[in-house]
Amino acid sequence: MIDGGYTQDFESKNLPGNFFAGPSPEFIVAEIDESDRSIREFSPDYAVVLNVGHDHLEMHELREVFRAFLARAKRGAVYPAVEPSLAPSGVPAIAFREEAPGYAVDAQGIHFEVAPNAIVHSCQAGQHSAWNGQAVYQLLRQVLPEVSPAGLAEAMGAFRGVRQRFEIMSARDAAIAVVNDFAHNPEKLSAAISAARERYGSPLAMVWQPHGFKALGDQREALLEALEKVLRPDDLFLMLPVYYAGGTTSGKPTSAEVCEQYAAAGLPVGFVATRQEVEARFRAFTSAKAWLVLGARDASLRTWTQELARISEKHA
How much is the pLDDT for 248?
67
Percent of the chain with pLDDT over 70: 99
SS (H, E, C) the chain: CECCCCEHHHCCCCCCCCECCCCCCCCCCECCCCCCCHHHHCCCCEEECCCCCCCCCCHHHHHHHHHHHHHCCCCEEEEECCCHHHCCCCCCEEEECCCCCCCEECCCCEEEEEECCEEEEECCCCHHHHHHHHHHHHHHHHHCCCCCHHHHHHHHHCCCCECCCCEECCCCCCCCEEEEECCCCHHHHHHHHHHHHHHHCCCEEEEEECCCHHHHHHCHHHHHHHHHHHCCCCCEEEECCCCCCCCCCCCCCCHHHHHHHHHHCCCCEEECCCHHHHHHHHHHCCCCCEEEEEECCCCHHHHHHHHHHHHHHHHC
pLDDT exceeds cutoff 80 at 262: yes
Domain ranges of the chain: 8-157, 167-315
pTM for the complete prediction? 0.92
Residue 289 vs residue 21, higher pLDDT = 289
- Specify whether domain 167-315 bears CATH 3.90.190.20: yes
pLDDT exceeds cutoff 90 at 223: yes
User: 153-209: per-residue pLDDT in tens?
Assistant: 999 999 999 999 999 999 988 889 999 999 999 999 999 999 999 999 999 999 999
How much is the pLDDT for 316?
63
Q: Provide mean pLDDT across the span 207-229.
A: 93
